[in-house]
Amino acid sequence: MMGAGKTRVGKEVAHIMDLPFADADVEIQHDIGMGIPEFFEREGEPAFRKVEADLIADMLEDFDGIFSLGGGAPMTPSTQCALAEYIDRGGRVVYLDADPAEAMERANRGGGRPMLNGDADARWKKLYKERDPVFRRVANVRVRTRGQTPQMAARKVMDMIRERMVHVTGSGIEPYDVRIGEGTMNHLPDVLGEGVARVALIHTQPVQRHSDHARTLLRQAGYTVSDIVVPDAEAGKTVDVANGVWRRLGDEGFTRSDAIVGLGGGAATDLAGFIAATWMRGIRYVNCPTSLLAMVDASTGGKTGINTEAGKNLVGSFYTPAGVLADMRTLATLPNDIFIEGLGEVAKSGFIMDPEILRILEDHASELRSFDGAMFLDSGLKDVVAELIEHTVGVKAYHVSADLKEAGLREFLNYGHTLGHAIEKLEHFRWRHGNAVAVGCVYAAELSHLLGYIDQDLVDYHRSLLDSLGLPTSWNNGSWSDVLALMHRDKKARGNKLRFVVLESVGHPIHLEDPPADAVEEAFRRIQQ
Ligand SMILES: NC(=O)c1ccc[n+]([C@@H]2O[C@H](COP(=O)([O-])OP(=O)(O)OC[C@H]3O[C@@H](n4cnc5c(N)ncnc54)[C@H](O)[C@@H]3O)[C@@H](O)[C@H]2O)c1
Ligand SMILES: O=C(O)C(=O)C[C@@H](O)[C@H](O)[C@H](O)COP(=O)(O)O
């Protein structure tokens, strides 16, 4: 909006990011050879908008830097299309959302604004009403600047435009974004939206520091927050815990217009999503993953659920979050072993789809293996991890977008999980999920090899890569009959037939229906060594 500080803040952002800055109004005046008020007077608004739209389209093609648009520009349909294409090419369109009183005061101060002729405040308010919904729609970054100096606002803009983003869409999915970067939790109020009054913040005790931060953000934005601490890790994914949370929501009067925020590792986000899916048959929820595994996998895609006596994740639903905020600052407190566990799901995504993930893992194996949260944010590893998260969420989004309810393609994300879930259950969940998946991937590779799909080299590659990352590649703590019984309860099984995901090559998974019993058992013998 006029007076929001686009030029002032834009210049500041360009300065701190060492980028060129351009202002659409200055460029236009240069092109038309006169001031904008004069051009408005002589040619009228439609002629001005045409000149403006053409210039913006050219700049979005050719200019690399920070570009400030006039407040009316995004109202022109051709500019809306140009901005959408710019976003598709990886661009960031920032809506600088200022406090109306501050913006009106600044807009009136400067003068020379043809759109504010007459009663300037009334005109400003009318324009705001028309433009605000459009600005929200065309921008992929919204920065609230209430009470902030231009320098503070510029820092906020910079953090936000440096974020990585993966868009998740598809049939049956209300589109949402996974935002990855430092400070992405600041988006919580935007993602929750204005229709929500109460928020249940569901988290575990080890992430208290991060939930305190989230609670502050939520309270500052005006939400009534219920802080709900659930038992840690798999102990939280039970029907008793879910029942306790439902009771709290009932006691505190949660209605359909309220929301859940799930904050923590994958167990906490699985539980929070399940509560959101079931409370009043479904309320809005946002995930704030704080472990690597939850960032790359659990928080996205809408698989929510709890465990039962019969096995892992056997009760749940497909229920999509309104957004995922992977705030890399939370990784500063993550213990090394839990970080490494997350690499199990990262490697899985490399094996089934994205060789670039495998290349990054190979190139940085020893740094990743020595992950130290306390040093992380000031280290070069931060960008490597951000890239791994973006790639891995990209793999997840690809499968989920095409097949939300896991009719076929999405099952490929389950590579390594048929045995992995059985190991977790037989180990009474003392084995971490990502570690069990790592062994499960070696098992699936062995099975692929036994049936002639891949050669021994690729099986060996599974072992050497996972081992270089500090992940386990063997397991020898359970009987074959127990393992087999649990694999029959896997959700991919049909009737009494086992189904697996195996590989034909890196990036080419296939379904394997009812494989020969001796191969299934022999692959197990091979991971016991
Ligand atoms: N829904 C899905 O699509 C999906 C995908 C993959 C895994 N999962 C599920 O996710 C779970 C595994 O997730 P996980 O590996 O995050 O385990 P987890 O949730 O058990 O978290 C591991 C431990 O790390 C702690 N922790 C998390 N973030 C921390 C931080 N920043 N600082 C300090 N401690 C932190 C947790 O409190 C916990 O003690 C499993 O239940 C698995 O089934 C779900
Ligand atoms: O999103 C999916 O689909 C997956 O299979 C991702 C897995 O990495 C994840 O562990 C998931 O929780 C497993 O789901 P399940 O259906 O096998 O319980």
ipTM: 0.99
Its CATH class, for the domain covering 164-334, is alpha beta
Please write the tens of the pLDDT for every residue from 81-135: 999 999 888 899 999 988 888 888 877 776 666 666 667 788 888 999 999 999 9
**Going by CA atoms, what residue is nearest to atom 18 of ligand 2?**
313
Residues with CB under 6 A from ligand 2: 297, 301, 303, 313, 345, 406, 410, 413-414, 417, 491
**How buried is 205 (Cβ within 10 angstroms: 0-12 exposed, 13-18 middle, 19+ buried)?**
exposed
Residue, of 257 and 159, whose pLDDT is higher: 257
- Is residue 270 predicted with pLDDT exceeding 90? yes
Angstrom distance (rounded) from CA 195 to CA 221: 12
Residue 261, helix vs strand vs coil: strand
> In this predicted structure, what is the pLDDT of residue 193?
85
Cα(388) to centroid(ligand 1), Å: 17
Angstrom distance (rounded) from CA 313 to CA 309: 10
> In this predicted structure, what is the pLDDT of residue 313?
94
Pairing label, strands 164-168, 176-181: antiparallel
Cα(377) to centroid(ligand 1), Å: 20
Angstrom distance (rounded) from CA 230 to CA 205: 8
- For helices 45-62 and 24-32, what crossing angle results, to 10°? 110
Beta strands (DSSP E) in 319-439 are 323-327
Residues 308-328 have a mean pLDDT of: 95
User: The domain 6-159: what is its CATH number?
Assistant: 3.40.50.300
> In this predicted structure, what is the pLDDT of residue 212?
98
> In this predicted structure, what is the pLDDT of residue 165?
92
Residues 399-404 have a mean pLDDT of: 97
User: Which residue pairs from 34-38 have beta carbons closer than 8 angstroms and sit at least 24 positions apart in sequence?
Assistant: 35/112, 36/112, 36/114, 37/112, 37/113, 37/114
- List the chain domain ranges: 6-159, 164-334, 406-527
Pair 66, 14: CB distance under 8 Å? yes
Return the CATH fold of 406-527: Dehydroquinate synthase-like, alpha domain (1.20.1090)
A 10 A CB-CB count for 421 gives: 25
Q: Which ligand is nearest to the CA of 432?
A: 1
Pair 216, 206: CB distance under 8 Å? no
Cα(150) to centroid(ligand 1), Å: 38
Please write the tens of the pLDDT for every residue from 444-467: 999 999 999 999 999 999 999 999
**Going by CA atoms, what residue is nearest to atom 35 of ligand 1?**
334
Letter for the amino acid at 525?
Answer: R
Q: Which atom of ligand 2 is nearest to the CA of 303?
A: 1
Residues 191-220 have a mean pLDDT of: 96
Mean pLDDT, all residues of the chain:
95
Residues 195-210 have a mean pLDDT of: 97
A 10 A CB-CB count for 434 gives: 29
Least confidently predicted of 114-118, 162-166, 313-317: 114-118
The catalytic residue among 140, 186, 313, 414 is 414
246 Cβ contact partners less than 8 Å away, ≥ 6 residues apart: 275, 278, 279
* Tokens coding 153: 């606002």
| Radius of gyration from C-alpha coordinates of the chain | 26
Residues 303-321 have a mean pLDDT of: 95
Cα(268) to centroid(ligand 1), Å: 7
Please write the tens of the pLDDT for every residue from 517-528: 999 999 999 999
* Secondary element (H or E) of residue 403: none
Angstrom distance (rounded) from CA 178 to CA 192: 14
A 10 A CB-CB count for 465 gives: 21
- Is residue 151 predicted with pLDDT exceeding 70? yes
- Give yes or no on whether 6-159 and 406-527 have one common fold: no
Residues of the chain with pLDDT > 70, as a percent, come to 98
Residues 332-339 have a mean pLDDT of: 98
- Indicate if ligand 1 lies below 6 Å from the C-beta of 393: no
Q: Which atom of ligand 2 is nearest to the CA of 345?
A: 8
433 is catalytic: yes
Least confidently predicted of 156-160, 320-324, 415-419: 156-160
- Is residue 327 predicted with pLDDT exceeding 80? yes
Angstrom distance (rounded) from CA 294 to CA 376: 18
The catalytic residue among 345, 390, 411, 424 is 345
Please write the tens of the pLDDT for every residue from 39-93: 989 999 999 999 999 999 999 999 999 999 998 999 999 999 999 999 888 899 9
Q: What is the pTM of this model?
A: 0.87
